[in-house]
Chain A
Amino acid sequence: MHLPGKVFALLSPLFLALLAPLPATAAESPEIVCIQCHSAMPGRLGEPVKLWKGSIHAENGIACNACHGGDPKNAANAMSPARGFLGAPKETAIPAFCGRCHVGVMRDYLASAHGKALGKGGPTCVTCHSNHHVVKASLDLINEKNCSRCHGFERARLIRDAMQETEGMIVAIDTRIAAYKEEGTDTEGMQKGLFAVRNRFHTLFHNVDAAMVKKESAGIQGDLRKIQNQLTALDASRQKRKLAGAGGISAMLLLALFAHLLRKTYD
């Protein structure tokens, strides 16, 4: 009555194939040559790598070559001008350097008092945003420590206060959208809406006209409320689902109790 060895031999690979267990780790993408070399260098040559690793650029996968050009896969030609290497820009060329990607922001900056003072002691992008440790643009950048390096903080404070409420709304909406997205809700429409509104809002960041900032902020808040209403409708729908779920669970438990009591009548 014992199972023959042949069946054992036949079944073993079947189980192996069907179970298909998983290996230890997922593959990681290799580092580009810029980081491989510079991270081992001391002082100012190695410092940018450390700074970049904590930046919004690193978070979004924007590596060295995206700004500085060159060939990130070939150590010998990584810094070859023939492969598009640009190196570090001169001070007056910085807005154009960053503006290759941040087109609208460059336009706003050049139209502002800051931009008009370019090359005459005025600030460039990196003065406020830093060059390698570029953090996500937010109102926190407008602070006394930053602004008072060049001028008084009074007018900057007025502008920041006018934008504070809108910024708070954007952050809160963004967080709620992200939470819905993480549970499978189609948030594409809301995300696009918020992206457009946020871009409009960010054009104000380089504006130094306090009255205009206040007026524009009011309009932006109106658009944000429309997205808030969509989120409130989603909240209500989820609440209804929970109520329906509670009803369903209660019904099932009552039916189980009924079946149990009916069963007892046959004892």
Chain B
Amino acid sequence: MTLLKRLIDWFDVRIGAREVVARELTGYLLPRNINTWYSMGSILLFIFAMQMVTGILLLIYYVPDADKAFKSVTFIMNEVPFGWLIRLCHAVGSNLMVLVLLFHMLSVLFMNSYKSPRELNWLTGFILFTMIQGISLTGYLLPWSQLSFWATTVATNSVGAIPAIGPYLVEFLRGGKLVGPPTLGRFFALHVVLIPTGIGALIGAHLFFLQRTGVSTPPFGQKETANQWKGDGYRYESHPEGIPFFPVYALEDIRSIFIYLACFLGVVFFFPNLLFTKEAFLPANPLQTPLHIKPEWYFLANYQTLKIFPSEFLGLAVQGIAMTFLALLPFIDRDPERHPLKRPLFMVCALGGLLLWIGLGVWGHYS
């Protein structure tokens, strides 16, 4: 203990470490009625860090060349010590990252925490959501399997439905008329450099906005549930009677992360092929189209939406409008009330939208 204390003292006299801890950890107070849903952000930070670590480890053996990519992934899965574990952690982690992100967004939505002055928190979070989808889509191609090749072919095809620029955009994304080696190079660069850098920057912005606005108080168990901020000046939402982030809420975060890890390991060790079809283990063959290529579960609703509209452009436009509406929700929804049970119309719309998304996904899966 003496050594530890001396080490802390050493830092304290140089950078004022105790002051930082008192202000940002032990003195950082959170609302008393905070709930487990607030841990989703911490779980997401943990998942993102894990995706970075497993991704870097995969880079040691992965070869981003159309002739070698599939073999290098097979080598990782079968020959590299614990390569199978690292690859499965990366693949399962990417899916669970989307799932936890959806939980995080839904909790913010239903607790109405997106309302002013937190428009920027929501907007950065929403852009993060689209970037996570983007990083998943680009990562899907990298194993260069039948599944990745044809899923990318149909995914990039749909961009062609955008009027005027569509065909050029398809060619730009693919690096040619068809999915091929240049597409792999582009998607690889996007997946390992461009999108992760963007995600890192947006996470920084998201946390900065959280730091500046303060943590929102959950609307449950409160007498006054209307939004008190009038837009007349900057205000930090403090919680003088709250609980300290460290060690109290940090322990709740850690508990949630361990529960997540138990679920995650359950999939990795007991249901490793839950997210793979047999086409995922066949090398890409541009001359042989598999019968039924389906997108990842989180794109199934988009996939089905395109099928039910008479034209692909209409399907894309409807999705674009829906996504833009969601992105701009804090600017559209100006009602100060935050308790979901006091907002029946909002609840009906939100639950209806969620059920529609799930229904379209299930329909897409079985169609």
CB-CB under 8 A for A186 and B78, given A19-B302, A245-B268: yes
A18 to B293, CA, bound (A): 20
Contact B154 A253 (CB under 8 A): no
Contacts of B303 in A (CB 8 A): 21-24
Contact A26 B150 (CB under 8 A): yes
In the complex, which of the residues B77, B156, B258 has the most CB atoms of chain A within 10 Å of its own CB atom?
Answer: B258
* Interface stretch of the complex, out of B61-69, B200-208, B313-321, B339-347: B313-321
Contact B306 A18 (CB under 8 A): no
A56 to B322, CA, bound (A): 48
- Residue B44 lies at the interface, judged by CB distance under 8 Å to chain A: no
Contacts of A255 in B (CB 8 A): 254, 258
Closest to B244 in A: A266
Contact A241 B269 (CB under 8 A): yes
* Interface stretch of the complex, out of A135-143, A151-159, A164-172, A177-185: A177-185
Interface size class of A (residues with CB under 8 A): 35 or more
- Residue B237 lies at the interface, judged by CB distance under 8 Å to chain A: no
A213 to B266, CA, bound (A): 49
A91 to B262, CA, bound (A): 67
Contact A11 B258 (CB under 8 A): no
Q: Is the interface of A mostly helix, strand, loop or mixed?
A: helix
Contact of B156 among A2, A16, A20 (CB under 8 A): A20
Can you list, as one digit per residue, whether each of A184-223 has a CB less than 8 Å from chain B (1) or not (0)?
1110000000000000000000000000000000000000
| Minimum distance in angstroms from A224 CB to a CB of chain B | 22
Contact B133 A19 (CB under 8 A): yes
Contact A28 B289 (CB under 8 A): yes
Contact A15 B327 (CB under 8 A): yes
- Residue B236 lies at the interface, judged by CB distance under 8 Å to chain A: no
Contact B248 A23 (CB under 8 A): no
Contacts of B158 in A (CB 8 A): 20-23
Contacts of B151 in A (CB 8 A): 22
| Minimum distance in angstroms from B351 CB to a CB of chain A | 22
Contact of A183 among B79, B281, B321 (CB under 8 A): B281
* Interface stretch of the complex, out of B13-21, B47-55, B94-102, B272-280: B272-280
| Minimum distance in angstroms from A247 CB to a CB of chain B | 9
Closest to A260 in B: B255
- Residue A150 lies at the interface, judged by CB distance under 8 Å to chain B: no
Contact B302 A15 (CB under 8 A): no
Which B54-89 residues have C-beta < 8 A from chain A? 74-75, 77-79, 84
Contacts of A262 in B (CB 8 A): 247, 251
- Residue A82 lies at the interface, judged by CB distance under 8 Å to chain B: no
- Residue B331 lies at the interface, judged by CB distance under 8 Å to chain A: yes
In the complex, which of the residues B280, B291, B327 has the most CB atoms of chain A within 10 Å of its own CB atom?
Answer: B327
Q: Which residues of A contact B (CB under 8 A)?
A: 1-3, 8, 11-24, 26-29, 181-186, 241-242, 244-246, 248-249, 252-253, 255-256, 259-260, 262-263, 266
Question: Given contacts A12-B324, A22-B155, could you give 10 more A-B pairs where the C-beta distance is less than 8 Å?
Answer: A11-B327, A21-B302, A22-B154, A24-B306, A183-B276, A185-B77, A186-B74, A244-B269, A248-B269, A259-B258
Contacts A/B (CB < 8 Å), 25 sampled = A1-B116, A2-B331, A11-B328, A14-B130, A15-B323, A16-B162, A17-B159, A19-B130, A21-B319, A22-B151, A24-B306, A26-B154, A26-B290, A27-B289, A181-B278, A182-B278, A182-B281, A183-B281, A184-B78, A245-B270, A255-B258, A256-B258, A259-B251, A263-B248, A266-B243
Q: Which residues of B contact A (CB under 8 A)?
A: 74-75, 77-79, 84, 116, 130-131, 133-134, 137, 150-151, 153-159, 162, 169, 231, 243, 247-248, 251-252, 254-256, 258-259, 261-262, 265-266, 268-270, 272-273, 276, 278, 280-281, 289-293, 295, 299, 302-303, 305-307, 312, 315-316, 319-321, 323-324, 327-328, 331
